[in-house]
Every structure is written in C-alpha cells, then in structure tokens.
Structure 1
Amino acid sequence: MLKGIPQILSPELLKVLCEMGHSDTIVIADGNFPAESMGKNGKVLRLDGHGVPEILEAILKVFPLDSYVEEPVSLMEVVPGDKVETPIWNTYKEIVSKYDGRGEKCVGNIERFKFYDKAKEAYAIIATSEKALYANVLLQKGVVVE
C-alpha cells in the first residue's frame, strides 16, 4: 500500500497510468462496453465490482488531463432515437471540475462508432461493473508540470 494513492487504483492500473505519455488515451468502460474486443491491440484491465464515477475520481487524483486540446474528456453520445437518460454525465462533469480548472468545458461527446474507433486505439481500457447506459469515458493524458 502507498500513502495518498486511492486504494481502488491497483498496482497494474498505476503501472499503466505511469507508462502512458502525453496525449495517450484510456477508456473507463461501463459494464455493457465490449472491452475485450475493443482492447485487442491495447491493454484491458478489469475493475469488476466498481462503477465509473469512483474510478474516474481516483484516476484524476493522479492523472493530468491534456491542456493542449479543448476536450480531453469524451463521452459516448446517445444514439439518436434511444430513449436513454444520462444523469451520470453530470456526475462526471462534477468530478472533472474538481481536478481541471476548465470544468465541464473540457468534457465533450463523440458519436458511438467514432468512440469505438478511439477505444480501439486507446492505450488501455478499464472494464467496470457500471450499470448506467452510455457511461463510457475516454481520457486524454496531459503533461505533469509539478
């Protein structure tokens, strides 16, 4: 165990976050996301039993968001015609606002299949047990300046 590191961040996940360089991306995927098929070219980490908000919060405590892009946090858009509410997005925006001075302005949406394309290119995908629909988040890493 380490001091100051959220316990939800496993040694394997900490290693991945540390290995990632500027502009690399990581996906925190909900329970319905096809993590294994999307992550064939990267790493898939399992955090079963946890939801996306708690993982997002823990990661952002140690992970800088990219300051060179307007929206380093991307959410999967709801497919037109799907009657789905996404209140979890407000939770994500609140969490992001705690760790990035741009607040919710640095959170954007990506069409579903474009999100899948970006997920296939991500450095890693974290598979969770999140039950909310359209609860996937893509983070783009920034530079540590401290």
Structure 2
Amino acid sequence: MLKGIPFILSPELIKILMEMGHGDEIVFADGNFPSASCAQRIVRADGHDILELLDATLKFFPLDTYVENPVSLMEVVPGDDTKPVIWEEYRMIVKKHDESFTDFDMVERFAFYERAKKAFAIVATSEKATYANVILKKGVVRE
C-alpha cells in the first residue's frame, strides 16, 4: 500500500493509468456496457460505481488540453426518454479536478462502441445508472 492513493484504485488500474500516453483514452463503463467484447485491455472494478472511480482517477489523471472536450459521454439514443442525472454529477467531479473543463463531447451509441474498441483500456464497473459510460482522453503533466 502507498500513502495518498485512494483505495478504490487497484494496482492494475494505477499501472494502466501510468502506462497511458498523451492522447490515449480510457473508458469507465457501466454494468450494461459490453466491456469484455470491446476491450483491448480490461480492468475489473466489480462492486464499484463510476462516480467514486472518476473522482479518484482525476486526482492523478491529466485531461488533454489540446482537444475541445477531453471527456466524452454516450448520448441518449433517439426515442429513449431517459434523462441521465449522473451526467451532472460527472460535470461537478470533472470541474473539481480541472477548472478549464467546459463541456462533454456527446457520442452516438455505436460510435461510442467503436471508440471504446480503440481505447487503451476499459474499466468495467458495477455502475447501475443508464448512459453512465464515460471516456477520458489523457493529457500531459506540466510542471
């Protein structure tokens, strides 16, 4: 164990975050997402929700400043009347860790799956909220 690292971040997830480079993407997938069939690398976070993982990750993870929206969400499928309340919670968490954050990139469902297939890794969670999938694009650390 190490000091200052949230217990929710497994050694495997810390390793993945460290190995990622500028522009690489990581997906935090809800419990309904086809993580295993999309992932090049999968990190199991069974029993955890995305909110706590996102907050813990963004303490260490720089978002890409070279793109307009480094955080992407799966948009609601046309005709589905779901109103994802978790998105506002995501907004508060991202803004807490990155004051320059303005808005999310909204990605159509099947385009989101295709991006997930190219992502550096997918973190499979037990998140129950619908449309809770989120992609983070890694930036650079500036000293």
Other-structure match for 2:22 = 22
What secondary structure, in the 3-state scheme, does the structure 2 residue paired with 1:125 have?
Answer: strand
Residue matched to 1:100: 98
1:51-86 Cα distance to aligned partner (Å, 9 max, x none): 010000011001000000010000000000012120
2:109 equivalent to 1:117: no
- The match for 1:59 is 57
Deviation at 1:107, TM superposition (A): 1.9
User: Does residue 5 of structure 2 align to residue 5 of structure 1?
Assistant: yes
The one-letter code matched in structure 1 to 2:123 is I
For residue 106 of structure 1, report the CA deviation from its aligned partner.
4.0
Unaligned runs of 5+ in 2: none
What is the deviation of 1:46?
0.5
The yes-or-no answer on 1:132 pairing with 2:122 is: no
Q: Which residue of 2 aligns with 1:43?
A: 41
Q: Distance in 2 between matches of 1:45 and 1:102?
A: 28
Task: With the length of structure 2 as denominator, give the TM-score of the two structures.
Answer: 0.98
Amino acid at match of 2:68: E
TM-score (norm 1): 0.96
Q: What is the rounded CA distance, in whole Å, between the counterparts of 1:107 and 1:100 in structure 2?
A: 13
One-letter code aligned to 1:5: I
Alpha-carbon distance in 2 for matches of 1:77, 1:26: 17
Q: Secondary structure at the match of 1:15?
A: helix
Alpha-carbon distance between aligned partners in 2 of 1:18 and 1:78, rounded to the nearest angstrom: 32
AA aligned to 2:121 is A
Query: How high is the sequence identity, in percent, across the aligned residues?
Result: 62
Please list every run of 5 or more consecutive structure 1 residues that lacks an aligned counterpart in the other structure. Answer: none
SS of the counterpart of 2:114? helix
* Distance in structure 2 (CA, Å) of the matches to 1:98 and 1:58: 11
